[in-house]
């Protein structure tokens, strides 16, 4: 290396430029515009979240109901003898299910079409998801918590209930059958109001 003073001055100048304060940093005008666009979009997204939270009252669940997954079958709402479809005294229909490797229990349920149905679901082991194709019935079933979904099935027919969260080696075989019957058949008593399939 030579002891050329001009080279030393050049290196010193380069070092000062590299260690310049952020206020002295040169930002290309195009880059500056894109920074403002990105910050503007972030602002729009934050405003959208605040609008839906406060104006539309869209909030995450606040009343988390906790359960002991290891003791589900021993008593309470999710005991084995209380699973299935129950018509409440007010005429509403409640379905109580347990998701466990590798099925939903009871395995088959029958419910009326065109009526609001409340599903109460708990997991006995790991994270599961429940999805009924061609409907809006879909939720996660987290161990230690009860999931509640209220929906209506407008048309009679048979639907599979599938697990849509990977839960282990038998995940692709985890399904149950949901049969939606007409209101006439439901009222006439042709269907059981308490499912007996397990």
- For residue range 63-83, list pLDDT tens digits in order: 677 888 888 878 888 888 888
The answer to whether the beta carbons of residues 151 and 138 sit under 8 Å apart is no
3-17, 34-48, 85-99, 124-138: which has the minimum mean pLDDT?
Answer: 3-17
Take residue 143 and report the two structure tokens written for it. 């161990």
Give the pLDDT of residue 195.
45
Tokens of 162: 């599938």
Mean pLDDT of the chain: 83
What DSSP line would sit under 61-94, residue for residue? --SPPB--GGGGGGSSTTSGGG-EEEE-TTS-EE
State yes or no: pLDDT of 190 exceeds 50: no
CB 78 within 8 A of CB 104: no
153 contacts 135 by C-beta, under 8 angstroms: yes
pLDDT for 171 equals: 83
Copy the structure tokens of residue 173.
Answer: 């075989």
Q: Specify the pTM.
A: 0.64
Confidence of residue 38 (pLDDT cuts 50, 70, 90): very high
CATH homologous superfamily of 69-188: Cupredoxins -  blue copper proteins (2.60.40.420)
Q: Would you say residue 87 has pLDDT above 60? A: yes
Backbone phi, then psi, for 120, in 5-degree steps? -120, 120
All residues at 6 or more sequence positions from 156 whose CB lies less than 8 Å from its CB, including other chains: 113, 180, 181, 182, 185
Q: Which residues contact 80 (CB under 8 A, 6 or more apart)?
A: 73, 105, 198
Residue-wise pLDDT for 122-163, tens only, equals 988 888 989 999 888 888 888 888 888 888 899 999 999 888
CA torsion angle 69 73 74 76 (round to 10)? 80
* Of residues 113, 91, 176, 109, the one with CA closest to residue 141: 176
Contact 120, 92 (CB under 8 A): no
84-112: average pLDDT: 89
């Amino acid at each position: 290396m030579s002891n050329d003073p001009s080279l030393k001055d050049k290196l010193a100048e380069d070092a000062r430029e590299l260690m310049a304060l952020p206020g002295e940093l040169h930002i290309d005008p195009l880059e500056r515009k894109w920074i403002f666009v990105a910050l503007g979009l972030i602002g729009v997204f934050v405003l959208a979240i605040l609008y839906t939270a406060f104006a539309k009252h869209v909030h995450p669940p606040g009343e988390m109901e906790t359960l002991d997954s290891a003791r589900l079958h021993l008593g309470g709402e999710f005991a084995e003898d209380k699973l299935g479809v129950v018509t409440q005294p007010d005429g509403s229909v409640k379905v109580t299910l347990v998701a466990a490797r590798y099925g939903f229990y009871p395995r088959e349920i029958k419910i009326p079409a065109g009526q609001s149905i409340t599903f109460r679901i708990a997991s006995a082991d790991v994270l599961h998801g429940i999805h009924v194709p061609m409907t809006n019935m879909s939720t996660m079933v987290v161990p230690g918590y009860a999931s509640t979904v209220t929906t209506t099935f407008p048309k009679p027919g048979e639907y599979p209930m599938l697990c849509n969260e990977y839960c282990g080696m038998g995940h692709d075989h985890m399904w149950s059958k949901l049969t939606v019957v007409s209101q006439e058949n439901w009222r006439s008593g042709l269907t059981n109001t308490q499912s007996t399939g397990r």
